[in-house]
Chain A
């Protein structure tokens, strides 16, 4: 099974409250914030690695994961790709592009060109990037390819190397189960990090993965060493023959207004009830 996993570098989402906006309001500046792998992509990478390994045999690789990152060809993008390679992916592709030239539609067009070239069985990607929070590119990509998309996958099961999959996906109102004939696009929910979320027909069905608290697996020391020798190919939007234009034009960015009022530290439960009942009048 060959899986394409797009990964984006984003300004450290855990410190997003430190973001600033340029004086004229035309740009978001993340100065001082570290670039991190988009956490939603990290979950998808974990799913893709589980689909392409035998976890009972020291995570022996039985398939291929190709990472794709679209962005500036700089040390940060390179580092994010290396991080994914160190976790177990086989190789990387860096598509050179200025952040300002991208929106969900352009990203989908670039990924379509790469899918046409690489012919993966699946694309497993983040449901959204932690910067734009759009939740659009995966589904648009699926439609452009004429493929199905399963958004918010929390359990994935295949017994035929990804040709068909049974997927449980998270809804607002519960959980839906679908059977999909590949090739297909999957986006993931954080429930994909649970210990029994992926059954790939190779890893024994009763295998339990180690519990993951926040993101995907950590790279091992061996993985980090091996990643240094794994290839990262560089290409560009023009080389891929993509000429899609943006359909979104951001005219202004603002920081949300600071919360008005201070935090009132109440003395005890009686004081809290009094404030909520008589001052805020909410109970």
Chain B
């Protein structure tokens, strides 16, 4: 029987959707082992977020209000203290989860299964499947320490639906860690977009080095993105060249996405890029070179000059 604590991820006082993907994994663990799950809302605005999270079927929602911006040193001791009452501590493998949970694990002498793609329960025994080697190998791993710490790949777990009930909300004490005095949070620039979140969109349109400039992203890629109501992504080469913001990078370095439709435009398909998108349901490549490695994963391949094909595709989509 495994009791699970889900660590919520807050952005500007609201729980990110990443939290609900971790809830789905927590439910699988709890149901598979006959245990239960609770949620922990921690950070600035934890109270309001806790009220919102109370609708997802947790046994209870713990909350710890911590003012100021997030640094893992300020949160980890409190999460670890709360985690002592649980068997599994879980969060999404977002930049937040991957930053915070290893520090929690260190305090609990727990092993970490990071970025898991599946929960397995065999006779009440837990193991986890996780992609390794940029998604080229799947490993099944057991955590042998007393406590288990797990982060989950967002694209592999659907967001939990509201359950209708209301979980009780409980305040917990904040545990101070002297190391927090060594880090001062100065500020954060949150990138805002009217478009859907890259990690959550049903359709992603990504551009690569062949776009050649940020103007071409604006003039060629963005109209298609908006015609499809899609999120915009990019290859590492396009991000490094400064054509688009780094937050749009899809790949082993960057975001892992698995939308219903992924359109790769002018992207050759380096292994690092494939690692971030090959789980997509339908993959379209538009590329001049039909031998490009993106063909290994593409369902549909249009061999064409993107500067001709993409505007034509945009017009065709608009007239559907």
Q: Which chain A residues have a beta carbon within 8 Å of chain B's beta carbons?
A: 11, 13-17, 19, 21, 28, 103-105, 108, 130-140, 142-144, 146-152, 154, 166, 170-182, 184, 189-191, 193-194, 213, 246-256, 259, 261, 263-266, 268-270, 272-273, 275-277, 280, 282-283
In the complex, are the beta carbons of B114 and A134 less than 8 A apart?
A: yes
* Cross-chain contact of A173 among B133, B182, B191 (Cβ < 8 A): B191
In the complex, are the beta carbons of B199 and A144 less than 8 A apart?
A: no
Q: Is B160 among interface residues, defined by CB-CB distance under 8 A?
A: no
Inter-chain CA distance A78–B203, complex, in Å, is 46
In the complex, are the beta carbons of A171 and B188 less than 8 A apart?
A: yes
Inter-chain CA distance A260–B187, complex, in Å, is 46
Q: Which chain B residues have a beta carbon within 8 Å of chain A's beta carbons?
A: 11, 69-73, 76, 93-96, 98-99, 102-103, 105-107, 109-115, 127, 130-145, 178-179, 181-191, 199, 203, 228, 236, 240, 246-247, 252-253, 255, 260-261, 270-272, 278, 281-282, 284, 290, 295-304, 309, 312-313, 316-317, 320
Inter-chain CA distance A248–B317, complex, in Å, is 49
In the complex, are the beta carbons of A249 and B142 less than 8 A apart?
A: yes
In the complex, are the beta carbons of B300 and A149 less than 8 A apart?
A: no
Contacts of B96 in A (CB 8 A): 171-172
Given contacts A136-B105, A177-B186, contact A265 B136 (CB under 8 A): no
Q: Which residue of chain B lies nearest to A179 when distances are taken between CB atoms in the complex?
A: B184
Given contacts A264-B299, A272-B300, contact A180 B182 (CB under 8 A): yes
In the complex, are the beta carbons of A146 and B179 less than 8 A apart?
A: yes
Contacts of B313 in A (CB 8 A): 269, 272-273
Closest Cβ of chain A to B134, distance in Å, is 5
A-B contact pairs, 27 of them (CB 8 A): A15-B271, A16-B136, A21-B137, A104-B102, A105-B111, A131-B133, A133-B133, A134-B115, A136-B105, A166-B186, A171-B247, A172-B247, A176-B186, A177-B187, A179-B184, A181-B183, A182-B182, A248-B112, A249-B144, A263-B299, A266-B302, A269-B302, A269-B304, A272-B313, A273-B316, A283-B228, A283-B261
In the complex, are the beta carbons of A147 and B302 less than 8 A apart?
A: no
Closest Cβ of chain B to A177, distance in Å, is 4
Contacts of B107 in A (CB 8 A): 143
* Centre residue among B96, B190, B240 by max chain A CB count within 10 A: B240
* Cross-chain contact of A178 among B71, B95, B138 (Cβ < 8 A): B71
In the complex, are the beta carbons of B261 and A139 less than 8 A apart?
A: no
Q: Which residue of chain A lies nearest to B240 when distances are taken between CB atoms in the complex?
A: A190
Given contacts A13-B134, A140-B105, contact A174 B189 (CB under 8 A): yes
Q: Which residue of chain B lies nearest to A275 when distances are taken between CB atoms in the complex?
A: B300
- Given contact pairs A176-B186, A253-B132, A255-B136, a sample of 19 additional A-B residue pairs in the complex whose CB atoms are under 8 Å apart: A13-B271, A14-B270, A17-B296, A28-B132, A133-B133, A133-B252, A135-B93, A136-B105, A142-B103, A149-B72, A170-B246, A171-B247, A172-B95, A172-B199, A189-B253, A248-B143, A251-B142, A263-B301, A265-B302
Contacts of A28 in B (CB 8 A): 132-133, 137
Contacts of B134 in A (CB 8 A): 13, 16, 130, 133
In the complex, are the beta carbons of A143 and B252 less than 8 A apart?
A: no
Contacts of A270 in B (CB 8 A): 316
Inter-chain CA distance A149–B296, complex, in Å, is 38
In the complex, are the beta carbons of A254 and B137 less than 8 A apart?
A: yes
Inter-chain CA distance A181–B178, complex, in Å, is 12
Contacts of B182 in A (CB 8 A): 147-148, 180-182, 184
Given contacts A28-B137, A152-B95, A251-B127, contact A17 B302 (CB under 8 A): no
* Cross-chain contact of A269 among B72, B144, B184, B309 (Cβ < 8 A): B309
Closest Cβ of chain A to B98, distance in Å, is 5
* Cross-chain contact of A250 among B139, B272, B295 (Cβ < 8 A): B139
In the complex, are the beta carbons of A104 and B137 less than 8 A apart?
A: no
Inter-chain CA distance A181–B134, complex, in Å, is 34
In the complex, are the beta carbons of B132 and A131 less than 8 A apart?
A: yes
Contacts of B109 in A (CB 8 A): 247
In the complex, are the beta carbons of B69 and A176 less than 8 A apart?
A: yes
In the complex, are the beta carbons of B103 and A173 less than 8 A apart?
A: no
In the complex, are the beta carbons of A143 and B103 less than 8 A apart?
A: yes
Inter-chain CA distance A136–B142, complex, in Å, is 16
Inter-chain CA distance A266–B145, complex, in Å, is 52
Q: Which residue of chain A lies nearest to B317 when distances are taken between CB atoms in the complex?
A: A283
Contacts of B93 in A (CB 8 A): 135
Inter-chain CA distance A251–B142, complex, in Å, is 7
Q: Which residue of chain A lies nearest to B148 when distances are taken between CB atoms in the complex?
A: A247
Inter-chain CA distance A178–B73, complex, in Å, is 12
* Cross-chain contact of B133 among A19, A144, A146, A246 (Cβ < 8 A): A19
In the complex, are the beta carbons of B188 and A174 less than 8 A apart?
A: yes
Given contacts A17-B136, A177-B186, contact A133 B106 (CB under 8 A): no
